[in-house]
Structure 1
Amino acid sequence: MKKLLPASALLLALPLFSACSHLPAQSAAASASAVSQAEQNKKIVADFYEGVFLKHQVKRYADRYIGAEYIQHNPDVPDGKAPFVNFFTQYFKDNPQAQSVIKRAAAEGDLVFLHVHSTQNAQDRGTAVVDIFRVENGKIVEHWDVQQAVPEPGANSNTMF
């Protein structure tokens, strides 16, 4: 009887292995390539972000990294590279001390997520921002953001960052 148990378990398991063999398999090379592409996208977005929002070199970094078609989901900024450049060039003229510092960055596929502390000057508590970018062929082609003012001390001792 003891010999039947392992054999019966094997007979039950064979159909499962057979069913799994028909599932599409992602090769290790394809998986590594996807991770590599996501990491490259993260580098593109981080360089763009620091160039625009820390160095205030809006046109230079927009020309380098924003695609010909640029979809903007922030309701204050129009679609397109030229409107982006115009909007933020004026913003930095009005707010020369403005800084946006990346606290965290993550990427998955063609999306890059930044967690950012944005301030207009040294006295400003700032805004916590989550920026999401879609990258296509090495260019930023779409952007979303979510913003929350950094409050006075809250109900807990945790920070926004």
Structure 2
Amino acid sequence: MLKSLLKKVFISSVILMPLFVTACSQNPIQNSQNTMPPNVTTAQNLAAQNKKIVTDFYEGVFLKHQVQKYSDRYIGNQYIQHNPHVPDGKAPFVNYFTGYFKENPQAKNVIKRAIAEDDLVVLHVHSSQNAQDRGEAIVDIFRVQNGKIVEHWDVQQAIPE
């Protein structure tokens, strides 16, 4: 009887072991190269998406001066602005920077570095009003929610001689 039981266990293990090994090697979260399948959203993927949203928005507004177009595309319905010179909301942002670029048509902000983590994107920027302007170093921080920019902070420092 023990011999018969051991034989059944052995046969079962021979049949089931390949199935078990195959099932374990097909982990839906992680494959053998330690990479994520394309349909799994991770914090890293979300941060990369947010970084793309913010950099596209920033270049559209501050290099191309297409304030309305890129604001409509990327700013959320509720937009909190922590810069004391620009009021909250999409319309005030558009009005402020449309006027600014009319007065400063050569102004440009060039992204030097972009860093993203979770829902925050940080840009290190060189801003200048024209070719003769030494400009300012700016750090802009954006919060992205559901694919839209919903909050902004910044700090600025004049570029010394």
- TM class by smaller structure: 0.7 to 0.9
- Among the aligned pairs, what percent are the same residue? 76
Q: 2:50 aligns with which of 41, 47, 66?
A: 41
Q: Does 1:56 align with 2:61?
A: no
Correspondences of 1:75-114 after superposition (within 5 Å): 75-114=84-123
> CA–CA distance in 2 between the matches of 1:37 and 1:60?
24
Q: Following TM superposition, by how much is the alpha carbon of 1:84 offset from its aligned partner in structure 2, in angstroms? A: 0.1
- Structure 2 gap segments, 5+ residues each: 1-28, 31-35
What's the offset of the Cα at 1:32? 6.5
RMSD: 1.4
Matched, 1:139 2:122: no
TM-score, reference length from structure 1: 0.75
Question: Structure 2 CA distance, aligned partners of 1:117 and 1:76?
Answer: 19
After superposition, what is the alpha-carbon deviation per residue over 1:10-60, rounded to whole angstroms, capped at 9, x for unaligned?
xxxxxxxxxxxxxxxxx766x961000000000000000000000000000
CA–CA separation in structure 2 for the residues paired with 1:50 and 1:121: 17
Deviation for aligned residue 1:70? 0.1
Unaligned runs of 5+ in 1: 1-26, 153-161
* Residue of structure 1 aligned with 2:158, choices 125, 131, 149: 149
Change in Cα spacing, 1:150 to 1:97, as seen in structure 2 (3 Å) is same
Partner of 2:139: 130
Q: After the TM superposition, which segments of 4 or more aligned residues of structure 1 sit over 2 Å from their partners?
A: none
2: distance between equivalents of 1:81 and 1:65?
10
